[in-house]
Amino acid sequence: MSPTDREHLAIIQARAMLQESGVWSVEDDLSCLVDRFIERANKKRALEEFMLAVQERCNRIPLGHVIGTVDFDDMPLVVGSGVFIPRPHSRIIHKWIQSSAELRPDSKVLDLCAGIGAIGLGIARRRPDFNVTCIEFDPLAVQYLRRNIDRLSYKGVQASCLQADIRDEQAFAHFTHQIDLIVTNPPYVPQAQELLPEWREHHPQSSVYSGADGLELIRQIISLADQALVRDGWLVMEHGDGQAEAVRELFRRSYLTDIQTVIDEDESDASGNSVMTIGRKPQ
Ligand SMILES: C[S@@+](CC[C@H](N)C(=O)[O-])C[C@H]1O[C@@H](n2cnc3c(N)ncnc32)[C@H](O)[C@@H]1O
């Protein structure tokens, strides 16, 4: 059997294994895995690694953890076991920023619960005039965040990183009334909610869950934003599919105005809808 025949057979086998495992985008995953592990010079070694990777994906290890990178908004970001993998859903925030005429040039931006930095770095890439700080508390995520900030500085993307817990108001004192825009994709899943194994078993609990109703950190962020935002400043928050009404109610009961929820069908997939709620601090 020729090497090409062996690859062809391996890919057929991998497709069947992925289908059997229950992952939701077999062809996308397969094409990434083929690209990463088969298009390589040492074919024997590559095939072996390819099948090991397919095996891991079939064990529901998230694709980003298997291949070690994720392409997000045209940025190749590094990821690894123990940190949250950015989801395409978050591009809803970038699209809003791209189309929003109301953001001041040179805006000061905080990305709260930044993980490995996908949202903040995407903003910094699109708006080099903005001053973006990515804030994350988990030491491992902060390592990846710093790596990604360093990597993308090669492409001229500039952002900074602060390790802080959003429950620690003191850590945010120096941002008081300084910030034009807060973006965030915080943990928002209710503690008892069943999740796919990718998130239930292979993501840190603190990156996914947020108290009994899933809103614990969202409440904290609304309160923090009140302290940090300038008048007219924006709070832009991703959240779960079923939480729009609850989040709008929390926004309404706080100081925020101009509240709206946006759903982006194009960035939604079988793992959930892309949804965010926006509010503005009044004049
Ligand atoms: C859902 S993940 C999102 C990460 C990133 N925003 C993204 O979209 O890829 C939530 C992140 O919040 C971080 N986090 C959880 N609790 C936090 C806290 N109290 N303070 C700061 N970060 C926190 C987690 O470590 C995790 O990286």
Contact yes or no for 12/23 (Cβ under 8 A): no
Tell me the one-letter amino acid at 164: A
Residue 131: predicted pLDDT: 98
Direct distance between the N- and C-terminal alpha carbons of the chain, in angstroms, rounded to an integer: 73
Predicted local distance difference test score (pLDDT) of residue 198: 95
Ligand 1 centre distance from Cα of residue 251 (Å): 20
- Please give the distance, rounded to the nearest whole angstrom, from the Cα atom of residue 142 to the centre of ligand 1: 10
Which residues of the chain are modeled with pLDDT < 50? none
The Å distance, Cα 116 to ligand 1 centre, comes to 9
Of ligand 1's atoms, which has the minimum distance to the CA of residue 166? Answer: 20
Nearest CA to ligand 1 atom 4: 115
**Considering only CA atoms, which residue is closest to atom 23 of ligand 1?**
113
pLDDT digit string, tens, across residues 157-173: 999 999 999 999 999 99
Q: Taking the alpha carbons of 84, 76, 73, 142 in that order, is the dihedral positive or negative?
A: positive
Rounded Cα gap, residues 63 and 65, in angstroms = 5
Strands 229-238, 179-184: pairing kind: parallel
Check residue 271 and give its pLDDT: 79
* Phi, psi torsion values for 138, nearest 5 degrees: -80, 125
Instruction: Tell how far the Cα of 114 is from the centroid of ligand 1, in angstroms.
Output: 6
Query: What is the model's pLDDT at position 249?
Result: 97
Burial of 164 (0-12, 13-18, 19+ CB in 10 A): middle
Q: Report the 10 Å Cβ neighbour count for 86.
A: 25
Which atom of ligand 1 lies closest to the CA of 188?
Answer: 1
- Is residue 60 within 8 A of residue 197, CB to CB? The reply is yes
Residues with CB under 6 A from ligand 1: 84, 86, 90, 113-115, 118-119, 136-138, 141, 165-167, 185-187, 206-207, 217
The residue to mutate among 116, 138, 236, having the most atoms of ligand 1 within 8 angstroms of its beta carbon, is: 138
Ligand 1, atom nearest to 208 Cα: 1
Q: Whose CA is nearest to atom 26 of ligand 1?
A: 207
Q: Which atom of ligand 1 is nearest to the CA of 185?
A: 6
How many Å lie between the centroid of ligand 1 and the Cα of residue 44? 40
What's the CA-to-centroid distance between 89 and ligand 1, angstroms? 15
Q: Tens digit of pLDDT for each residue in 197-206? A: 999 999 999 9
Name residue 132's beta-bridge partners.
Answer: 109
User: What pLDDT is attached to residue 244?
Assistant: 96
How many angstroms does the Cα of residue 14 sit away from the middle of ligand 1?
A: 33
Ligand 1 centre to CA of 206 (Å) is 7
